[in-house]
Amino acid sequence: MVAYRYHQYQVVGRALPTESDDHPKIYRMKLWNTNEVRAKSKFWYFLRKLKKVKKSNGQILAINEIFEKNPTKINNYGIWLRYQSRTGYHNMYKEFRDTTLNGAVEQMYSEMASRHRVRSPCIQIIKTATIPAKLCKRESTKQFHNSKIKFPLVFKKVRPPTRKLKTTYKASRPNLFV
Amino acid sequence: MGFKRYVEIGRVALINYGKDYGKLVVIVDVVDQNRALVDAPDMVRSQLNFKRLTLTDIKIDINRAPRKKNLIEAMEKSDVKGKWESSSWGRKLIVQKKRASLNDFDRFKVMLAKIKRGSLVRQELAKLKKESA
């Protein structure tokens, strides 16, 4: 199993209580980041943009990691994001097929970095959702919605089963036919 | 065209890289172009890259993403283990494993057996040569 770099956290925080406001409103956010420390930091980044509160006059009440309920089931994930390109901000909607939401988010970050050269600090996830197969918009995910899917593997990559057995020279040319 | 082994639901594959090296698994669903959801009776259902799989000729009849119980039943019904162990590929792997697990005394016994077999072959060959001479 791949170890996912991105974890999903639920961060709950509020402004510190003052004399004028004894019970400030509590806000909850669901974030993706590599660890808890970064998730808390990102929470304040977003909250600062929405409300008049900073980390210095606020407190985090809870941070919990959210785990995938059923990582053996394949889902189609739709991710709405806002990213900063060299010329401005744009919105985007991307679809991914994966077993877990964290995996889909990691795919998204990889794809944005490769296709659009957008690094992860410049991406804001607006919304994620599990999309039923009927409502998928992208052809590249819809082509796998086939219960009798069948395709050949065209090239077989020949590699030693452990890196210990790797050698620079081989006695014969490899057979690439599957 | 030439492709006989397809990635499809129910295809049995051998894991050829990684922690579960050498295990026979069944492709239970396809995640996308590079990954499959893969299952075996003794492991948790997980996703594997196709680069880590080698497809075999064996295919079993299952629906997409079956329950573990149904998967095990279908594997028993089509006798995946039996077919694998009687196929030449499966037999080769069994022999490799046996050879790797021999101790020194076993290797001594193998050496004696090889010498004996060689001598029998040469005796027969000498007889045939004499007859044809």
Beta-carbon-side half-sphere exposure of residue A45 (alpha carbons within 13 Å): 12
pLDDT at A53 over 80: yes
Q: What is the pLDDT of residues A126-153, one digit of tens each?
A: 999 999 999 999 999 999 998 888 999 8
DSSP 8-state code for residue B47: E
* Whether the Cβ atoms of residue B53 and residue B13 lie closer than 8 Å to each other: yes
> Which among A136, A144, A166, A178 is the top mutation candidate for probing chain B, defined by the most B β-carbons within 10 Å of its own β-carbon?
A178
Smallest Cα–Cα separation from B99: which of B90, B107, B88? B107
Chain B CB contacts of A162 under 8 Å are 21
Determine whether the interchain pair A144/B31 forms a contact, defined as Cβ–Cβ distance below 8 Å: yes
pLDDT confidence bin for B27, thresholds 50/70/90: very high
pLDDT at A155 over 50: yes
* Whether the Cβ atoms of residue A45 and residue A33 lie closer than 8 Å to each other: no
Burial class of residue B13, CB neighbours in 10 A (0-12, 13-18, 19+): buried
Distance between CA B91 and CA B15 in Å, rounded? 16
Give residue A4's pLDDT: 66
Quote the Cα angle for A98-A1-B5, to 5°. Answer: 75
Residue B111, SS3?
A: helix
Determine whether the interchain pair A178/B5 forms a contact, defined as Cβ–Cβ distance below 8 Å: yes
The interface residues of chain A toward chain B in range 21-80, judged by CB-CB distance below 8 A, are: 72-74
Distance between CA B60 and CA A72 in Å, rounded? 20
Q: Write b or e for each residue in A71-90: b if 16 or more Cβ atoms lie within 10 A of its Cβ, otherwise e.
A: bbebbbbbbebebeeeeeee
Give residue A162's pLDDT: 84
The interface residues of chain A toward chain B in range 157-176, judged by CB-CB distance below 8 A, are: 157, 159, 161-162
Determine whether the interchain pair A161/B21 forms a contact, defined as Cβ–Cβ distance below 8 Å: yes
Give residue A158's pLDDT: 82
Distance between CA A66 and CA B129 in Å, rounded? 79
Q: What is the pLDDT of residues A81-124, one digit of tens each?
A: 999 999 999 999 999 999 999 999 999 999 999 999 999 999 99
Mean pLDDT of A13-28: 92
pLDDT at B26 over 50: yes
pLDDT confidence bin for A37, thresholds 50/70/90: very high
Mean pLDDT of A6-13: 94
pLDDT confidence bin for A174, thresholds 50/70/90: confident
Q: What is the count of residue pairs from A and B with beta carbons less than 8 Å apart?
A: 60
Q: What is the pLDDT of residues B47-99, one digit of tens each?
A: 999 999 999 999 999 988 889 999 999 999 999 999 999 999 999 999 999 99
Give residue A3's pLDDT: 58
Alpha helices in A10-132, H assignment, sequence order: 36-50, 101-116
pLDDT at B102 over 70: yes
Mean pLDDT of A45-74: 93
The fraction of chain A above a pLDDT of 90, given in percent, is 75
Of A140, A156, A161, the CB nearest to B17: A161
pLDDT at A1 over 50: no
* Whether the Cβ atoms of residue A122 and residue A83 lie closer than 8 Å to each other: yes
Smallest Cα–Cα separation from B13: which of B73, B54, B49, B61? B54
Chain A's closest residue to B4, CA to CA, is A152
Complex ipTM value: 0.79
* Whether the Cβ atoms of residue A79 and residue A125 lie closer than 8 Å to each other: yes
> Which among B3, B15, B39 is the top mutation candidate for probing chain A, defined by the most A β-carbons within 10 Å of its own β-carbon?
B3
